[in-house]
Amino acid sequence: MKALSGACVTRADAHGVELAVDGGASFSVQVLEAALVRVRYRPATGYKEPRTWAIAPQAGHDVDWAGRSRDDLGGFSRPAAALTHDGAQVTLATDALSVTLRPDPLVLSWANGQGRHLVHDRATSSYFTSPRTGAVRHCLQRDRSERYYGLGDKTGPLNLHGRRLRTLALDSLGYDPQGGDPLYKHWPFVLTRAPSGAWWGIYYDTLCACTFDLGCEHDNYHGLFRYVDIDDGDLDYYLMAGATPGEVIAQFVKLIGGTHLPPRWSLGYAQTAMGLADAPDAQQQLDHFITRTAAEGIPCSAFHYGSGYSSRGKRRYVFTWNSDKFPDPKALNARFQSKGMRLVANIKPCLLDDHPAFGEVRAQGGFVHDATSGKPVVEQFWDGVGSHLDFTHPAVIAWWQKSLKEQVLDFGIDAGWNDNNEYAVMDDDARCHGFGQPMPLHRARPLHGLLMTRATFEAQAAHATDKTEPVFTVTRGGPPGLQRYAQTWTGDNTSSWDTLRWNIRTGLQMSLSGMFNIGHDVGGFAGPSPGPELFVRWVQACCLNPRMVMNSWKADGTTNVPWLHPEVTHHVAAAIRLRYTLMPTLWSLFERAHALHQPIIRPTFYDFPDDESCFADCDDFMLGDALLVAPVVEQGATERRVYLPKGPAAWFDFATGQRFEAGQLHVVAAPLDCLPLFAKAGASIATASAREAASGQPGPTSIPRKFGI
């Protein structure tokens, strides 16, 4: 790689600095907000990615379908910074963030408004391009005491220091829950706690795959460093600072367009299972599920159709119904709705080569195609081969929305579940339409997951008869921006105690990354059927996540349903009812996520960043700022060690009211029927009545439970 050289300042004012770089390139630093500064490198030949779909800083204003110009500064207040320019260096300082730039060698250093050091570019060399591969690299100095978080759906301990991770999205069925990487999202955002205790974040606005080395690599000539490699894309990053992790995360989420507020019904417990919709007598099986749910007294707000409604054998044909398995789907859907269960249907972005609409879409030029021949790129997909739809083509968006309406929404289904949309197409010659400006697929792979979800979202909004009810949709893949439309989850996990434990961290990592409406496949999607104890503990661990969906695909034909193990069904039902009891609290947290950009679940250090004990790896998490959830994740355990952060005067057991000292480690009873849950002193927790919780229909009013000192 070749380091940027020959930089010289060509303009410096209170809003930013421009530099010329050898070879006709330019480098700029722009003050966008008091605590938000942007850094861009523009090659002499222009940007490789001239448009962005992530940046949407104006509330209520989405990005144009064809993208936003990378040079667009709309939506930012662009305050005047204090400028110091002494010839050797330039400093721009607001009351929240300062950056000092030295042009030769090109190095930036950053501090917060209190003068506390945040980060420094690697002093020996920091910015690189590769004429051979097209990659760009950014290197930063590293301190061993720094803590790194973010990057989306990452596995393992929350602190990512010492790891090398990629943002390349893949269909990661059966991934290792502790060390597997990459998973389903492209999310190039890193949150850092500096040695000074200050917090800052950096977002690299690129759709290209990235490799983040956070202290794995060592080179004797450069000291301790970290870096990002961007595969054949642009270097365009946003750096933001805050006194707390929450302040930094909120800035990032505002930058990428905020979080969609979903309908209330989507907060309830939901059921899905591939095995049910895949069965030869699927309609009868689902009819039985409706009856059994009522008989067991299980509150259930939604049913998510797996893709089996469209399958013939193992092959899946999106926007079709298998009439042998579903002789009268509209009648079945009406029965679901009459029992208070809303409906969500799995939809996929790839048409198998014998799909009845394949020829129609091909005639429109609607597939990801070969750049030379123009023919659809054919890849392996669901026990066959097929071609991926090109969501940067207006004709495909129209076809998708029309098909969704006619084959899903008009059948009485409320929402689409955008699945298998990682676009793991590795053909170097693959291209897409790009709304009239062709794009190589390696610069657009995650974009298709985003635009597919947006197409579904907007089709549902147009179809809805009740325009006052928010839209709900789900996506598995995508980049920053997906939170503007959809809920997401940790993908196809595996039933095991290890997965139960490590999925908790992955969900919290997603929350720290700015994805707030998240959850897991309760009980594990793949692998063996969970035993009774594991099943109960999994339901308890997930019952207070933003998303609670029980989903599975088991080789032995079993299905994760609440009555999977009759001997513990009452424990499962109790955990589900706890969710409905706390539904008023959950809803208020969704409102805060939408309005204030605050995560719904978060690690304890989010709310108690001054308590060093909260940074230790643990299985606990906060639900909002007042409830601490301590799931049991060890087989055979009947008690639980839990650290209750210092700050509040005390903590109280939510069920019994027992008082516990703050800032101490406690051993608490945790029999199989118990999810340890604690409220901080002074909290007033909004709850539903026991009747409403049992029925699964909490009303708009709530009963406050107060926890004194």
Amino acid at 522: V
Looking at the fold, whether 362 and 431 belong to one and the same domain comes out as yes
Q: Is 319 domain-assigned?
A: yes
Q: Is 682 domain-assigned?
A: yes
Give the pLDDT score at 71.
95
Looking at the fold, whether 270 and 210 belong to one and the same domain comes out as no
Looking at the fold, whether 115 and 47 belong to one and the same domain comes out as yes
Starting at the edge strand that comes first in sequence, how are the strands of the sheet with 659-661 ordered?
601-602, 621-623, 627-629, 677-680, 650-653, 659-661
Q: Provide the CATH number for the domain around residue 241.
A: 2.60.40.1760
Q: Is 218 domain-assigned?
A: yes
Give the pLDDT score at 104.
87
Give the pLDDT score at 705.
96
Q: Which two tokens stand for residue 295?
A: 């008989």
Looking at the fold, whether 401 and 433 belong to one and the same domain comes out as yes
pTM assigned to the model: 0.98
- The answer for residues whose C-beta is within 8 angstroms of residue 578's C-beta and 6 or more apart is 543, 544, 675, 693
Looking at the fold, whether 235 and 278 belong to one and the same domain comes out as no
Domain edge (last residue) among 444, 473, 488:
488
Asked if residues 29 and 108 have their Cβ atoms less than 8 Å apart, the reply is yes
Neighbour tally for 45: CB within 10 Å: 9
Q: Is 483 domain-assigned?
A: yes
- The answer for residues whose C-beta is within 8 angstroms of residue 453's C-beta and 6 or more apart is 418, 421, 473, 475, 478, 482, 485, 486
Looking at the fold, whether 231 and 88 belong to one and the same domain comes out as yes
Give the pLDDT score at 661.
98
Measured between alpha carbons, how far is 451 from 393 in angstroms, rounded to an integer?
10
Neighbour tally for 700: CB within 10 Å: 7
Asked if residues 211 and 228 have their Cβ atoms less than 8 Å apart, the reply is yes
Domain of 686 in residue numbering reads as 589-706
Asked if residues 487 and 162 have their Cβ atoms less than 8 Å apart, the reply is no
Omega before 105 within 30 of 0, i.e. cis: yes
Longest Cα–Cα distance in the chain? 79
Domain edge (last residue) among 460, 488, 516:
488
Q: Is 35 domain-assigned?
A: yes
Measured between alpha carbons, how far is 227 from 218 in angstroms, rounded to an integer?
11
Half-sphere exposure in the Cβ direction for 371 (13 Å, CA) = 12
Give the pLDDT score at 59.
87
Q: Is 479 domain-assigned?
A: yes
Looking at the fold, whether 400 and 427 belong to one and the same domain comes out as yes
Give all strands (DSSP E) within 264-376, no chain letters. Answer: 270-272, 302-305, 311-312, 315-316, 342-347, 350-352, 369-370
Task: Determine the 3-state secondary structure of 499 from DSSP.
Answer: helix
Looking at the fold, whether 614 and 686 belong to one and the same domain comes out as yes
Measured between alpha carbons, how far is 475 from 515 in angstroms, rounded to an integer?
12
Q: Provide the CATH number for the domain around residue 613.
A: 2.60.40.1180
Looking at the fold, whether 134 and 243 belong to one and the same domain comes out as yes
Looking at the fold, whether 205 and 263 belong to one and the same domain comes out as no
Q: Tell me which residues of the chain have a pLDDT lower than 50.
A: none
Domain edge (last residue) among 446, 470, 488:
488
Give the distance, in angstroms, between the CA of residue 495 and the centroid of all CA atoms in the same chain: 21
Q: Provide the CATH number for the domain around residue 354.
A: 3.20.20.80
Q: What is the dihedral of CA 521, 522, 527, 531, to 10 degrees?
A: 180
Q: Is 696 domain-assigned?
A: yes
Asked if residues 353 and 384 have their Cβ atoms less than 8 Å apart, the reply is yes
Question: How many domains is the chain built from?
Answer: 3
Looking at the fold, whether 250 and 265 belong to one and the same domain comes out as no
Q: Is 178 domain-assigned?
A: no
Q: Which two tokens stand for residue 551?
A: 């989903």
Looking at the fold, whether 68 and 43 belong to one and the same domain comes out as yes
- Helix (H) or strand (E) run with residue 608 in it: none
Nearest Cα neighbor of 446 from 184, 668, 265, 681 is 184
Nearest Cα neighbor of 191 from 226, 149, 163 is 149
